[in-house]
Structure formats: C-alpha cells, structure tokens
Chain A
Amino acid sequence: MNQKIRLVVPEAPSPQSVDTTETRAVAKGGIRLGVLDNSKGNADHLLKFIVDGVKALLPVASVVSLRKDSVSLPAPAEILDRLAAESDYVITAMAD
C-alpha cells in the first residue's frame, strides 16, 4: 500500500468569468455600428462580410470602421474613445 502524501497545487484557477450578454432594443433610426479591424491578415475581409450580414438583418444608421496598427497590442485610447462615442455596438475580428 502506497503511503499518501500531500502535494501543493501548482495551478491557478481561471478567474470567474462575468456574463456580459445584454439584450437591447434596436434604436428607431437603426443602430450605429462600429468596426475595429485588428490589422490581422484578412480581418478586413472578414469584417466586411460580417457588416454586410448585420445590414441584411438589422437597420443600420451608420458604420464607423477603424483599424489599429498593431495586431497584438490593445487599440489606442483615441480609437476606443471614438468607437465609444460613435457606436452602439462594436464588432472586432481576428484572423490568420
């Protein structure tokens, strides 16, 4: 019979995720759509398909499309501020 020992767990648990799903009514004149291209190859194409798909399903009042220069780094504050000011919903994409 093996002797039992106690081991210290080397793993960290995943932080608790927060449910951020929200249901909103579509504004009367249509939604203001924001698009953040992360500059990955083909992200622009993928986003165009998605925007076209959204337009086919919902009234869209405006689309603001912005692109960050670095694939890997967060978008700079001016891009985020503009998206926050001019969009009701923002779509971003990753692709390789």
Chain B
Amino acid sequence: MSNLAQLLQASGASIEADGDFDSVNALMMEKGWGDGLPVVPPTEARVAAMLEYCDRPWDQPVAKIPPRWGEATPLRLAANAVMAGCEPRYFPLYLLAIEAMCEEPLNLYGVQATTHLCAPLVIVNGPVTKELGLNSGHNAFGPGNRANATIGRAIRLALLNIGGAIPALGDMSTFGSPAKYSYLVAENEDESPWEPLHVERGLPREASAVTVIGAECPHNINDHESLDGEGLLTTIAGTMAVSGSNDIYYKAQPLVIMGPEHARTIAAAYSKDEAKRFLQQHATLPVAKLSRDNIERRVKVTWKDRLPDPKPDDVLYAVQRPEDLLIAVIGGAGKHSAFVPTFGATLPVTRALKTEDGRLAKSVEDFRRR
C-alpha cells in the first residue's frame, strides 16, 4: 500500500506531538528514538516527500534488521531518513544500503550485537555518487558533506530504531565507535588508476552500487618517503597485521584504502591483483607476537589445519588469500593510505541500484513516483 494517510491510521504508525522543534526532540529522546543528536521532526509532509523517491509498497518490509529483527518498511525508513536530515532524492541509495547490509554474508546480527567496535561501512560507486554529490575526495570520511553525513546517519538511525541496536541492550560494544554515527563514503573513481570496487566485484561500470563491510574505523598509514610501489606496499602490509585484530583470527576480508597519490605510485608497477598478492604475502605476524593463551585458545582452534602445533616463527596472515583483500581508492592529496580491519566473522556485500523491475537504475529519478 502506498497511501500515506491510510498507512498512518494503523496502530503505532504515528504519534501526536507538540509542534515546536524542542518539544518534538524532547519527545523523541524520551522515546529513545535517536542517536543523541537533535533530529528533524518526521512529519507526515516530510515523510511523504521522502517516499516520492520509493517505487516499493511503503508498508512492505524490504529487510528485517537484527538484533530485534524489526521490519524495515519504506515508511519507517523514510521517517529515519527525515530525522537524519536526508534530501528525498537520497532515499533510493539509503534503501539499497539497508537491503545490502541485511544480506546473510554480512552477519549484521553479529556486527550489531558484538562487544567489538565495528559498524557497517558503506562504500558507494557509480554514477549515483556524482548525482548525489557524495564526497570521495579530501576529508571523505569527515564532516562537511550532506549526502555522506545524512545517509550514513539515516542508516545508523534505522539500525537503532528498527534493528534495536540500543547501546548496552542490543548493541553490546565495549567502546562503541564514532563510525556508529555515520559511516558512508564514495570511491574516488576519477583519481583511481584501477577499476572501481564495484566492477572488481562483478558489476558493470555503469551500475551504481554499494559495498558494505562490517568494519572498524580506518587506521592511517603514513608513508611520505617511499618512492616506489614496493616501498609503499611494504609499509601498508606492515600496518595490516597486528596481534589484537579480529582479522588475525578469522578468514576475514578487510579493506585497504589507498590515497590517490599512493595508488598512482603503486599502479606504476603493480596491477590491483598484483598489489593484493604482495599485501597478502607480506601482511604477516609471527606467532611469537601472540600470548601463550591466545596461541592455545585461538590460533590452535582457528588455524588448526595449517598450524596444528604453532612455533614462534610461524606466521599468521591478515588475509588468507589475495582475493580476500578489498582495495578502494578514496581521499584527496597527501601521502597517506588507510587500513580498515573488520569484525572478522563478516563478509562484504555488494549490491547494485536497481528499479523494482530489476533494471540497473540510471538515476535516482528512476525511482520517483509519477
């Protein structure tokens, strides 16, 4: 059904409130509907405008979000998107990201509920990045861009309000993370010397797509001195393998973010596949760097086939196979790259933006109701 007035007649679909901004925000806080920051009141008119960009039935779930397994209907998602400050034309990309992160390989239940500090990172590729004005360059993970900030925030609000990832109730993260406010970025395809992430993951270049990763925050890799690809890759590999990382204990698929300057230097001598092979082989950690108990209780369990009797000089890998490593080019000028470790028990999911009839969308305007 896509008649908003009728949908809001249903029990629990709407609530009456005093109309001023402060009263609305006080009510939302009291109900526990938010991330702690003030929200835009999800009025019927604003939600209706958001849903103009939704070609699905507004009351039918597009996903169930764990750990509560709440039904993510376009109506509820639109309310969260309004609260986050999204423009209505962002809605198709937002809905796509929610659908992608609820696919089984991502293990969103684990990502949401774990004591680890991970959050779903969304990397956007394709024409939609320019259409919506997403930031893929300088400060791409930082503040200052409405699309990055508010789509990422709308995702978090849905994870809280629909999924029930309430701190200390459904989300048991020891520390939480700044990435749990907003964690969405675009790949800097114009500055990349290689094929973009979504193409590498099997989609046509003209597709708009999201890749979702159950990820930690980026860890910076500073290398201003290396003058060739081997040197830069050696520095990156040295940052990837550390003893407290979940990726050491799981068959993980972490992400290397290359700044455009590093990427150009590396690409002068390495294809993307060759760079992955180098990093897989060199991002290693000697068993001696782990505690005796971790060797007994983790290494001997996870890697029992390869290392049934681990010796101090045996090595652990940050990624088990070159194809398990993701590489994306993001950011602006500067001799930096970044490593994004993962939750470990999670696999990335890539999904293309398609209209309800299964066609690749050329524009978010394809979703606009006529």
A4 touches B18 (CB 8 A): yes
Asked whether A20 is an interface residue with its Cβ less than 8 Å from the other chain, the reply is no
Interface size on B, residues (CB 8 A): 53
Looking at the complex, which of B73-81, B91-99, B135-143, B351-359 is the stretch in contact with chain A? Answer: B73-81
Residues of A within 8 A of B76 (CB): 8-12
B154 to A, closest residue via Cβ: A10
B302 to A, closest residue via Cβ: A69
Closest Cβ–Cβ distance, residue A41 to chain B (whole Å): 6
Q: How far is the CA of A2 from the CA of B19 in the complex (A)?
A: 6
Residues of B within 8 A of A6 (CB): 8, 14-17, 43-44
A72 touches B18 (CB 8 A): no
Q: How far is the CA of A73 from the CA of B250 in the complex (A)?
A: 11
Residues of A within 8 A of B315 (CB): none
B residues 107-129 with Cβ under 8 Å of A?
107, 109-110, 114-115
Closest Cβ–Cβ distance, residue A94 to chain B (whole Å): 10
Mark interface residues in A1-17 (1 if CB within 8 Å of B CB, else 0). Answer: 01111111111111100
B14 touches A9 (CB 8 A): yes
Residues of B within 8 A of A72 (CB): 107, 109-110, 114, 343-346
A14 and B157 in contact, given A6-B15, A96-B115 (Cβ under 8 angstroms): no
Q: How far is the CA of A3 from the CA of B19 in the complex (A)?
A: 5
- Of B16, B71, B78, B346, the residue contacting A4 (CB under 8 A) is B16
Closest Cβ–Cβ distance, residue B244 to chain A (whole Å): 14
> DSSP majority for the A interface?
loop
A residues 12-66 with Cβ under 8 Å of B?
12-15, 39, 41
A10 touches B162 (CB 8 A): yes
Asked whether B277 is an interface residue with its Cβ less than 8 Å from the other chain, the reply is no
- Of A7, A39, A69, the residue contacting B42 (CB under 8 A) is A7
Mark interface residues in B8-26 (1 if CB within 8 Å of A CB, else 0). Answer: 1000111111111001100
Q: How far is the CA of A67 from the CA of B12 in the complex (A)?
A: 43
A73 touches B16 (CB 8 A): no
- Of B14, B16, B162, B302, the residue contacting A12 (CB under 8 A) is B162
A11 touches B31 (CB 8 A): yes
Q: How far is the CA of A47 from the CA of B12 in the complex (A)?
A: 42
Mark interface residues in B35-48 (1 if CB within 8 Å of A CB, else 0). Answer: 00000011110010
B14 touches A10 (CB 8 A): no
A7 and B345 in contact, given A12-B162, A96-B115 (Cβ under 8 angstroms): no
B70 touches A12 (CB 8 A): yes
Residues of A within 8 A of B82 (CB): 8
B residues 150-167 with Cβ under 8 Å of A?
157-158, 161-164
Closest Cβ–Cβ distance, residue A86 to chain B (whole Å): 23
Asked whether B185 is an interface residue with its Cβ less than 8 Å from the other chain, the reply is no
Asked whether A91 is an interface residue with its Cβ less than 8 Å from the other chain, the reply is no
B23 touches A2 (CB 8 A): yes
Q: How far is the CA of A5 from the CA of B14 in the complex (A)?
A: 10
Looking at A4, A5, A6, A11, the one whose CB has the most chain B CB atoms below 10 A away is A11
- Of A4, A8, A71, the residue contacting B13 (CB under 8 A) is A8
Residues of B within 8 A of A13 (CB): 12, 70
B107 touches A5 (CB 8 A): no
A10 touches B68 (CB 8 A): no
A11 touches B33 (CB 8 A): yes
- In the complex, 16 of the A-B residue pairs with CB atoms within 8 angstroms, ordered by the A residue number, are A2-B18, A2-B23, A5-B16, A5-B41, A6-B44, A7-B44, A8-B78, A9-B13, A10-B83, A10-B157, A12-B71, A12-B163, A13-B12, A69-B302, A72-B109, A96-B115
In the complex, the 9 A-B pairs of residues with the closest C-beta atoms, listed nearest first: A12-B70, A72-B345, A72-B110, A2-B18, A10-B79, A8-B79, A5-B19, A3-B19, A12-B162
| Chain A residues close to B by CB (< 8 Å) | 2-15, 39, 41, 69-73, 96
Known: A9-B12, A9-B15, A11-B70; 20 extra A-B contacts, CB below 8 A, are: A3-B19, A6-B15, A7-B17, A7-B24, A7-B27, A7-B43, A8-B8, A8-B47, A9-B33, A9-B76, A11-B31, A12-B65, A12-B161, A12-B162, A12-B164, A14-B70, A15-B68, A15-B70, A70-B250, A72-B107
